[in-house]
Amino acid sequence: MVVLKAESADEWEDVVSNCFVPLRTSAFSAGFHGQMEHVRLDERVSVSVVTTDGTIAERTPRLAAHSENDDLHISLQASSRGLVSQGGHRVPVGPGSVSTYATDSPYFLDYSAPEQRQVIIQVSRSALKLPMSMVAESCARLAVPQSDAARVLFSYVALLQERSAAGQLTDPEEAAEITKDLSSTMIQGSFGHGRVVPRSPGGMMFTIRDFITANVATLRVDDIAHEFYMSRRSLYNLFGRTGTSPADYLRNVKLGNAAAMLTDHKYATWSVRRIGSECGFPDATSFNRAFRREFSCTPLEWRRSSPEFQHGESQVA
């Protein structure tokens, strides 16, 4: 990861132009500060976290006319509000908004409000392996509807940023392929054709894990296979690449949730049985057996060892 900082609009223009494409920028604070956390995964995809006190950025017609690539920006507005304009269209963006726009056409970004933070994926349109008409239509409407696929994409990018900052991004090439795959899945899925599944094993695995986390209490292995149009055997083969099985992963997520709830003061009045049921264990016996196998103690012993219980905040066994 490269972390670049700027203390003026001129410095910031150099930063964004070098990391993205040449832009014209202006600042709206006398004490302007901007920071770019930039990770280039390969020649066709990079991910960045951009934080500023408030700026505008313009890809002028002259700059766009000299474009040497077919890059697309997929941008998540993480905080504050702004406006994205391209091709005569404009959309307001706020926390959670996702937009797509092409870098070989003029565009204007009004991020003049303070405390701006965007997560930006810059990716070659041809690398997405989608019909160019679909990518063009996504850019034309600018806004991408909120969806599970968008959340999965930016959750994965956040994980990449964390690993890169910690020096733990060991396979940038694989990360690039997964980022492109999840980007394609989000764009294709935004047109409302039902669930679109990733093509790469890594993209599929990350998406399935996200689905399990969101629905763990009621899931069975067969439900996961059905949701992602897979046979049970294919699902086990996919998980086998990581040295586990879908059943083991599902059980471990349930147990992790239960362990967290048992020591969380928000659930201090909940019984152990109720927490087990909420986390997907049908009865107290199966909950106790699985919990002891994983943590070498019963759920009640786990709860009693927590500071909340010892301080008298948890009164329910």
The enclosing domain of 228 has a CATH number of: 1.10.10.60
| CB 212, CB 224: distance < 8 Å | yes
Q: Is residue 167 part of a domain?
A: no
- pLDDT greater than 80 at residue 30: no
DSSP character at residue 112: -
| CATH code of the domain containing 75 | 2.60.120.10
> Are residues 220 and 139 part of one domain?
no
Same-domain pairing of 29 and 125:
yes
Are 228 and 111 found together in one domain?
Answer: no
**Per-residue pLDDT tens for 57-67?**
999 999 999 88
**Could you tell me the two tokens for 68?**
């040497």
- Note the pLDDT of residue 308: 66
In a domain, 128, yes or no: yes
Q: Going by C-beta distance under 8 Å and a sequence separation of 6 or more, which residues neighbour residue 304?
A: 310
Q: What would the mean pLDDT of 86-90 be, rounded to a whole number?
A: 94
Instruction: Decide if 165 is inside a domain.
Output: no
* Residue 9 shares a structural domain with residue 129: yes
pLDDT score of 317: 57
pLDDT score at 28: 73
Residue 220 domain flag: yes
Residue-wise DSSP of 49-71: EEEES-EEEEE-HHHHHT--S-E
pLDDT of residue 312 exceeding 60, the answer is no
Domain boundary among 126, 144, 162: 144
SS3 216: helix
> Is residue 89 located within the same domain as residue 221?
no
Residues 14, 135 within the same domain: yes
Is there a domain that residue 90 lies in? yes
Domain span holding position 231: 215-310
133 and 32 in a single domain? The answer is: yes
Percent of the chain, pLDDT > 70? 97
The verdict on 135 and 252 lying in the same domain is: no
pLDDT (tens digit per residue) in 198-224: 999 999 999 999 999 999 988 999 999
Residues 134 and 223 occupy one common structural domain: no
Look at residue 204 and tell me if it is in a domain.
Answer: no
**pTM across the whole model:** 0.89
State how many domains the chain has. 2
pLDDT (average), residues 37-54:
96
Q: What are 275-308's pLDDT values in tens digits?
A: 999 999 989 999 999 999 999 999 999 999 887 6
Strand arrangement, sheet containing 107-111: 24-27, 55-59, 107-111, 82-86, 89-93
Query: What is the spatial order of strands in the sheet that 34-42 belongs to?
Result: 2-6, 34-42, 45-52, 116-124, 71-79, 98-102, 143-144
Q: Average pLDDT, whole number, for the chain?
A: 93
Same domain, 139 and 235: no
Q: Does residue 59 fall inside a structural domain? A: yes
Is 179 among the domain residues? no
Residues 7 and 104 occupy one common structural domain: yes
pLDDT greater at residue 309 or residue 229: 229
